[in-house]
């Protein structure tokens, strides 16, 4: 009789096992949403929105911040606020959600895709330095999944080459580097509050920045070009003069209802991050003892790590299976479909990153050639997606410490019975349903 659940064996997790769900809410969230519904202030610089904006900015240790419609436009506005546009090159990691690169193309810049470190899935800074040219204007760093880029070295690279640093923190609400929140290191950072994020309002986004001048620009960009009115007064800022921030833009605002959910989520965030972090540390200690399993590297400067997804790697050659087989076997043991999946598709072959399909991106033959994704080589990204990377959805770490032992036992059971798994024919790889920016 087979031992693995994918072949009909008994699942290691009991059928009655209830894994944690996400997102979560409390009665106080519903009460605040109801209060807003009965009010006459549903959007446009409402008091709940700015209450959240100031508290979240302070939590991450940044100077200024404002809500926006989603993480995608947050990146686009960051680029525009920094004056980045047509034919400017922006270095982007090859492993990220497609919106990180698409936002560059949407301002007519050129995303330069760079490979990642095998043990963090974050930007390979040696390759970043090699990719810098006279046309490079910025680096967008994505602190992906449960890892952080070497921020000290990255800041030195940007300073040496006079480059802007934009932090894509869609996965990192509550992460701290040397006690200081990520998102406060770059000139501008962008955040996502999409449903699956560690801090969620269903949809939504946020920008943090270092200077009042950038805040004024970001405010205007998100608000149809209007200058900041200082009503209500936030971050100690005065009203912006109309000509200081006269910009062509659109409506990228957030509603009061979304801000209410975010305010409630923020009150729970730090404890949730600490609980996830403790579980991740424990789970990694267990996984590291299993042959053929490799845990991700945690840099010593990280003093608190948030997890959008928990990742580890398999030695595909040693085990003789790929990550799709392994993930499907894990799902069978857990009794939950798509709890485990391979990491993102590399952007040089991503099914959703198709910059050449939009007429507005056809600036010239040279521009079309420059933004063609397939011109970039991303071997580490490709290996992670096709063979070695395993991602668990964020609710995995919201279970108990004993559940982490169950997860490790699931992995060990598969490794111990790897001969059975080698004979399994897997279906087509499925991509994340949740949008990570």
Strands 310-314 and 389-392: antiparallel
pLDDT digits (tens, 9 = 90+) for 334-380: 999 899 999 999 999 999 999 999 998 889 999 999 999 999 999 99
Q: Which domains does the chain have, with CATH numbers?
A: 5-23+269-346+381-422 (3.90.1150.10), 27-264 (3.40.640.10)
Rounded Cα gap, residues 341 and 436, in angstroms: 14
Mean pLDDT of 406-418: 98
What's 296's DSSP letter?
A: P
In contact, 65 and 95? CB cutoff 8 Å: no
pLDDT at 243: 58
pLDDT at 351: 95
What's 46's DSSP letter?
A: -
Q: Binning pLDDT at 50, 70 and 90, where does residue 435 land? A: very low
pLDDT at 408: 98
116, 135, 143: which is closest to 127 by C-alpha? Answer: 116
In contact, 384 and 121? CB cutoff 8 Å: yes
Q: Considering the chain, what is the average pLDDT of its residues? A: 94
Mean pLDDT of 189-216: 97
More confident residue, 120 or 437: 120
Rounded Cα gap, residues 367 and 9, in angstroms: 55
pLDDT digits (tens, 9 = 90+) for 378-408: 999 999 999 999 999 988 999 999 999 999 9
Whether the predicted pLDDT of 226 surpasses 60: yes
Q: Binning pLDDT at 50, 70 and 90, where does residue 424 land? A: confident
pLDDT at 238: 85
pLDDT digits (tens, 9 = 90+) for 75-112: 999 999 999 999 999 999 999 999 999 999 999 999 99
328-365 burial, b at 16+ Cβ within 10 Å, e below that, comes to bbbbbbbbbeebbbbbbbbbbbbeebebeeeeebeeee
Q: Which of 181-190, 235-244, 250-259, 424-433 has the lowest mean pLDDT?
A: 424-433
Whether the predicted pLDDT of 431 surpasses 60: no
What is the model's pTM?
0.95
What's 175's DSSP letter?
A: -
For the chain, what percent of residues have pLDDT higher than 90? 88
Nearby residues of 421 by Cβ (< 8 Å), 6 or more positions away: 4, 6, 321, 325, 326, 329, 414
Q: State the Rg of the chain over Cα.
A: 22
Whether the predicted pLDDT of 2 surpasses 70: yes
pLDDT at 423: 87
């Amino acid at each position: 009789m087979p031992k693995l659940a994918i072949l009909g064996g008994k699942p290691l997790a009991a059928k009655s096992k209830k894994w944690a769900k996400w997102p979560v809410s409390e009665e106080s969230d519903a009460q605040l949403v109801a209060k807003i519904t009965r009010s006459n202030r549903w959007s446009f610089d409402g008091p709940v929105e700015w209450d959240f904006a100031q508290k979240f900015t302070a939590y991450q240790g940044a100077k200024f911040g404002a809500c926006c419609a989603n993480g995608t436009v947050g990146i686009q506005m960051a680029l525009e606020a920094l004056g980045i546009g047509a034919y400017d090159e922006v270095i982007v990691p090859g492993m990220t959600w497609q919106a990180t690169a698409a936002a560059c193309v949407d301002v007519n810049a050129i995303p330069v895709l760079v490979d990642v470190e095998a043990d963090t899935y974050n930007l390979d800074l040696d390759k970043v330095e090699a990719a810098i040219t006279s046309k490079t204007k910025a680096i967008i760093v994505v602190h992906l999944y449960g890892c952080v880029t070497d921020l000290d070295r990255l800041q030195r690279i940007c300073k040496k080459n006079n480059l802007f640093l934009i932090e894509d923190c869609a996965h990192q609400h509550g992460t701290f580097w040397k006690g200081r929140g990520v998102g406060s290191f770059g000139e501008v950072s962008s955040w996502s509050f999409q449903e699956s994020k560690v801090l969620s309002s269903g949809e939504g986004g946020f920008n943090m920045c270092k200077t009042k001048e950038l805040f004024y620009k970001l405010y205007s960009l998100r608000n149809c070009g209007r200058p900041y009115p200082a009503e209500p007064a936030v971050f100690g800022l005065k009203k912006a003069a109309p000509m200081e921030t006269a910009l062509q833009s659109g409506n990228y605002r957030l509603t009061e209802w979304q801000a209410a959910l975010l305010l409630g989520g923020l009150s729970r965030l730090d404890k949730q991050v600490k609980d996830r972090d403790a579980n991740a540390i424990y789970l990694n200690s267990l996984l590291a003892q299993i042959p053929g399993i490799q845990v991700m590297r945690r840099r010593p400067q990280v003093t608190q790590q948030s997890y959008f997804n928990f990742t580890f790697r398999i030695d595909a050659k040693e085990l003789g299976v790929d990550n799709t087989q392994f993930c499907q076997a894990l799902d069978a043991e857990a009794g939950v479909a798509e709890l485990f999946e391979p990491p993102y598709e590399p952007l040089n072959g991503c099914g959703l990153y198709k910059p050449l399909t939009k007429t507005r991106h056809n600036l010239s033959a040279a521009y079309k050639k420059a933004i063609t994704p397939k011109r970039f080589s991303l071997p580490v990204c490709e290996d992670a997606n096709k063979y070695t990377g395993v991602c668990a959805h964020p609710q995995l770490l919201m279970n108990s410490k004993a559940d982490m032992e169950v997860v490790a036992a699931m992995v060990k059971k598969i490794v111990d019975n790897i001969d059975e798994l080698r004979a399994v024919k897997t279906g087509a790889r499925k991509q994340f349903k949740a949008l990570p920016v």
